[in-house]
Amino acid sequence: MNGAGIVLVFLGAIVLLPVVWGILIYNRFVRLQQHIKESWADIDVELKRRYDLIPNLVETVKGYAAHERETLERVTELRNKAAGNHGRQSDQAVDETALMIGLGRLFAVVEAYPDLRANEHFLALQNELSLTEDRIAASRRFYNANVRELNQLRAAFPTSLIAGMFSIEEASFFELSSEAERVVPRIDLSRA
């Protein structure tokens, strides 16, 4: 190979390497965006499971605590609002926080009814809801890890150049307020 050939290979490598690097980084962004969509779908499945459990829980409590109508109606209203939210993850988090606070109030009402706390159907529903909450928390951690990775890649230089060229937007974390975290239903079978 002569000197001109070496120069052409060198110039080709200088042009080709950034193009290959750009393609690899873009594909990484695409892969992360798909992971985020998939992990959000996992959260959505568990949220729908929770939405299906709540009406059964409310109906069971109604049989014992008919005069707690306002609390029961509020939980039903919050459940319907959260189930109907198909917007951004940050909007969903606001509705989920309100729903968790409402469920906390529902479980506070249950404390006044020892027969209800011992009811086999109620205990099964409460246990299922607790397991669902654990799955939601695990799915949320997975989702937020994917969001963190995408946002870090998007903000870091030089990958931020590729993100800017292709208008890759920052993803939103799915976070609940600390008040809602404190009211996650837990099972205490020792009282039953």
Question: The domain spanning residue 35 has which CATH number?
Answer: 1.20.1440.20
Q: How confident is the model at residue 186 (pLDDT cuts 50, 70, 90)?
A: very low
Helices marked H in the chain: 3-64, 69-84, 89-110, 114-118, 120-155, 159-165, 178-181
- Angle, alpha carbons 181-142-140 (nearest 5°): 30
pLDDT confidence of residue 5:
84
Specify whether the backbone of 167 is left (phi greater than 0), alpha (psi in -120 to 50) or beta.
left
Q: How confident is the model at residue 179 (pLDDT cuts 50, 70, 90)?
A: low
Specify whether the backbone of 173 is left (phi greater than 0), alpha (psi in -120 to 50) or beta.
beta
pLDDT confidence of residue 189:
39
pLDDT confidence of residue 110:
82
DSSP-derived 3-state class of residue 111: coil
Asked if 173 and 89 touch (Cβ cutoff 8 Å), the reply is yes
Residues of the chain above pLDDT 70, percent: 90
Provide the token pair at 117.
Answer: 């706390």
Q: How confident is the model at residue 192 (pLDDT cuts 50, 70, 90)?
A: very low
pLDDT confidence of residue 191:
45
Count of structural domains, the chain = 1
Global pTM value: 0.73
Of 166 and 87, which is predicted with more confidence?
Answer: 166
How far apart CA 15 and CA 10 sit, in angstroms, is 9
pLDDT confidence of residue 184:
47
Q: What would the pLDDT profile of 64-85 be if each residue is shown by its tens digit?
A: 776 677 888 888 898 888 888 7
Look up the domain containing 142 and give its range: 3-191
Q: What would the pLDDT profile of 114-136 be if each residue is shown by its tens digit?
A: 777 777 888 888 888 889 989 99
How far apart CA 96 and CA 54 sit, in angstroms, is 13
Q: Residue 135 — φ and ψ, nearest 5°?
A: -70, -35
Q: What average pLDDT does the chain have?
A: 84
Which DSSP category does 18 fall into? H
Q: How confident is the model at residue 8 (pLDDT cuts 50, 70, 90)?
A: confident
pLDDT confidence of residue 7:
85
pLDDT confidence of residue 88:
78
